């Protein structure tokens, strides 16, 4: 039984190389994004009704900060100081990372409400190498939500 193109599209996984990063409405190019996750801090405590409900209770409502790393190749025409300016501004920005289909349309988007740049690493300089100059930006983020097509 032959499958239609729509059925094939729905049954095969998306490749991870086709993604888009948007920071405060500005599309930025990165060669690698790692560390996006959703995690909650847990708090264990005792309370006055412990004889009824047990000794300890746990809550999972606290959105925790976690580290996300963006890497990109440095290029002269790609505003090389934009990450440095973000780092110096010491401000929280909204970030969206979208996984796209073959047409470049967003299929699923990870939206980060608060991203603060905490570390910017220069490329490794090595005269005996011909590798691309990669800079790394580390963010502390929280407030992750995920949106996708239904």
Distance CA 21, CA 101 (A): 14
Can you give the pLDDT at residue 148? 80
Distance CA 46, CA 142 (A): 27
Can you give the pLDDT at residue 7? 80
- pTM metric for this prediction: 0.79
Residue-level pLDDT, tens digit, the chain, 150 residues: 568 877 877 778 888 899 999 999 899 889 999 999 987 777 776 666 666 666 666 666 667 789 999 998 887 766 778 888 999 999 999 999 999 988 889 999 999 999 999 999 999 899 998 888 889 999 999 999 999 865
Query: Within 13 A of 66's CA, how many CA atoms are on the CB side?
Result: 15
Residue 10 DSSP symbol: H
The pair of three-digit structure tokens given for residue 112, joined into one six-digit string: 């980060």
Can you give the pLDDT at residue 78? 62
Can you give the pLDDT at residue 141? 94
- How distant is the alpha carbon of residue 10 from its chain centre? 24
Q: Are strands 40-45 and 26-28 parallel, antiparallel or unpaired?
A: unpaired
The pair of three-digit structure tokens given for residue 4, joined into one six-digit string: 């239609």
Can you give the pLDDT at residue 132? 86
């Amino acid at each position: 039984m032959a499958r239609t193109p729509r059925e094939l599209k729905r049954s095969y996984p998306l490749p991870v190389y086709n993604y888009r990063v948007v920071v405060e409405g500005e599309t930025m190019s990165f060669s690698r994004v790692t560390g996006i996750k959703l995690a909650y801090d847990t708090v264990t405590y005792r309370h006055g009704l412990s004889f009824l409900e047990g000794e300890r209770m746990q809550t999972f409502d606290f959105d925790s900060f976690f580290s996300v790393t963006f890497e990109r190749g440095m290029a002269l025409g790609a505003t090389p100081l934009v990450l440095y300016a973000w780092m110096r501004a010491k401000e929280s920005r909204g970030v969206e990372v979208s996984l796209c289909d073959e047409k470049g349309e967003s299929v699923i988007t990870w939206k980060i409400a608060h991203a603060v740049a905490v570390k910017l690493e220069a490329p490794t300089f090595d005269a005996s190498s011909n590798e691309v100059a990669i800079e790394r930006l580390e963010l502390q983020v929280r407030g992750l939500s995920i949106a996708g097509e239904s």
